[in-house]
Structure 1
């Protein structure tokens, strides 16, 4: 498998770059496309489709092919891979639940390849529950599925993150690159590096992704105290943005913690609205502000994947939470640079609203504030 990456500002520039990339020795059949929702998705997809290139795509909250982070651009990884080794599938929730469409994806993946792996991108709306996407794929596949990916972004406007392929795009869409692991090795890790702080607390009242009380105290008040927020000031809306800088860590017995970003606060009922479900009774801890130790942990875990699972890679895809970028600032470029150096292979990535993957010592699940890295190698 050969891979090349391009990064441009417009469909016209993509057309020029595409023409320069394709030659007698490189005829791509697959494109991984991450782009601003403000760009012309249809135009980019038509350009690729005209060249016989299938498309796995998501809108983003920032995108990159190296350590230089772009805003409102288009990044593409072109892959010259045997079309019999993969299948693109697009489903839309519509009247169905995310579990139902994800289950359909799992069933179809199993029918297509006995040893299938799923790289997915989902839209982002109130109708898309990341945990139900994972549960659905696992249910349809029959358990033990390999799943990596991310939720689409929309430049932090929260108006229209979309998953897409040629001729199809939707905020409730689920696009999948299904790979035959008998032909293509797929290895990765979901890693965050955040350090816990303080004593373990208990979520005493929650419903879905809304946390009402922690240790029988209003959840918003506890987080505000930790963040040093002044809740006495006037807010224009009942629900306001917390920024997601310091996530909660959900502790689990026999498994690594999973991150849950506290995205919003509700002034009236003093609740937290998180970017993933927080079951009542969960044990949680706050997180320390990030430093370079966080990046060291991410790179160390990627190196473990390299040494234990996949020594060489033809291509690397990185799904990194937008909250990491907001929290890390300039350190984010260093993280991308060092991850790319692990395999020294072409890399493409974007900032997500949630991540799908397997943490070290854990299982494939839905994450927040995490960096999900997946490496591909044709056998």
Structure 2
């Protein structure tokens, strides 16, 4: 399996790049397409479809390619993988629930391959992250491999999209099902965040909305506890970077904590709207702003993945939370480039609104503020 990456800032230029890179020696069958929501995915999909290339696509809140961070661009990984080794499935939440769609994808995977793995991207389904993982697991089995990310929309919060060929939706669930008897699929979900302070309790929540922590309004708790100063007079619901800098760590026994980022704050009821469900009664800690130690932890866990499971890779796909970009700042490029250097293979990725993957000590689940890296290698 060969993989090649290309990028451009206009539809015209990316079409030129597609035509330039395809040759008698390289005839791709699959395209991983990540792009700004301002770009016309339909034109790109049509061009690729006419060349018999399957499209696995999502809009982003920033893209990266081979260690470089881009904004407002189009990045594509083209792979010449045998079409019999993968299957693409697109379903949309509507008549059927997200859980039911995810279960159907799991069932299709199990029927298609003896040992399937799932790469997934989803649209505006922030409250459905756990349902996606649970649905695929229900359909395919508890030991299934699931990695991916929720699409972004350049932080406009207007509705990210997933797309393939002539289908797209901001409520879509797109899966790339891979035959692991033919293609090795290994990955890691890692964040490097350090907890701070004492354990606290989510005393009132519903879905992804946290109302009180230790019986105090969630927003006020963060402001007072962390000494954050913010002007909330601009509107009822405001985008806040509080969650990017001070995400919650949901504590669990004997496994790594799972991160939850506050994407919005409501100044009326002082609640936090998180990028994933936060169960009432959950035990949480706040997190310290990141430094080089966080990056070192991510690189260390990627090296462990390489040493223990996958020495070489033909291609790398990375899903990293937009909150990491907001909080890491210029350090983000250091993390991405160092991750690619672990395998020194072609890589594409994007900044997400949530991530799917397995931590070193956990199970496959839905994350925030986390880096999920997937390595592919033909057997």
Shift of 1:229: 3.2
CA pair 234-279 structure 1, distance change in 2 beyond 3 A: closer
Partner of 1:108: 108
Q: Matches of 2:74 and 2:222 in 1, distance apart?
A: 36
Partner of 1:142: 141
Q: Does 1:55 align with 2:55?
A: yes
Q: Matches of 1:43 and 1:238 in 2, distance apart?
A: 38
TM-score, normalised via structure 1 length: 0.97
Counterpart of 2:69 in 1: which secondary structure? coil
Q: Matches of 1:260 and 1:239 in 2, distance apart?
A: 18
Q: Which region of structure 1 is more displaced relative to structure 2, 358-367 or 241-250?
A: 241-250
Q: Matches of 1:70 and 1:165 in 2, distance apart?
A: 22
On the 8 A contact 1:37/1:160 being kept in 2, the answer is: no
* Structure 2 gap ranges (5+): none
Q: Pairwise CA RMSD of aligned residues?
A: 1.1
Q: How does 1:231-270 map to 2 (within 5 A)?
A: 233=231, 235-243=233-241, 244-245=243-244, 246-270=246-270
Counterpart of 1:186 in 2: which secondary structure? strand
CA pair 125-181 structure 1, distance change in 2 beyond 3 A: closer
Counterpart of 1:255 in 2: which secondary structure? coil
Partner of 2:204: 205
Q: Matches of 2:240 and 2:52 in 1, distance apart?
A: 44
Counterpart of 1:256 in 2: which secondary structure? coil
Shift of 1:11: 1.7
Partner of 1:214: 213
Partner of 1:15: 15
Partner of 1:97: 97
Partner of 1:189: 188
Shift of 1:66: 2.4
CA pair 236-125 structure 1, distance change in 2 beyond 3 A: farther
Segments of 4+ in structure 1 off by > 4 A? none
Partner of 1:168: 167
Q: Matches of 1:355 and 1:124 in 2, distance apart?
A: 13
On the 8 A contact 2:199/2:283 being kept in 1, the answer is: yes
Q: Does 1:316 align with 2:316?
A: yes
Q: Does 1:35 align with 2:35?
A: yes
Q: Matches of 2:160 and 2:225 in 1, distance apart?
A: 31
Q: How many residues matched?
A: 377
Q: Matches of 2:67 and 2:311 in 1, distance apart?
A: 22
Q: Does 1:287 align with 2:287?
A: yes
Shift of 1:228: 2.7
Partner of 2:24: 24
Q: Which region of structure 1 is more displaced relative to structure 2, 294-303 or 217-226?
A: 217-226
Shift of 1:166: 0.4
On the 8 A contact 1:265/1:272 being kept in 2, the answer is: yes
Partner of 1:330: 330
Shift of 1:125: 4.3
Q: Which region of structure 1 is more displaced relative to structure 2, 36-45 or 16-25?
A: 16-25
Q: Matches of 1:240 and 1:225 in 2, distance apart?
A: 18
TM-score, normalised via structure 2 length: 0.97
Deviation string, structure 1 residues 290-311 (Cα, Å, up to 9, x no partner): 0011110000000010000000
Q: Which region of structure 1 is more displaced relative to structure 2, 53-62 or 117-126?
A: 117-126
On the 8 A contact 1:318/1:371 being kept in 2, the answer is: yes
* Structure 1 gap ranges (5+): none
Shift of 1:234: 5.1
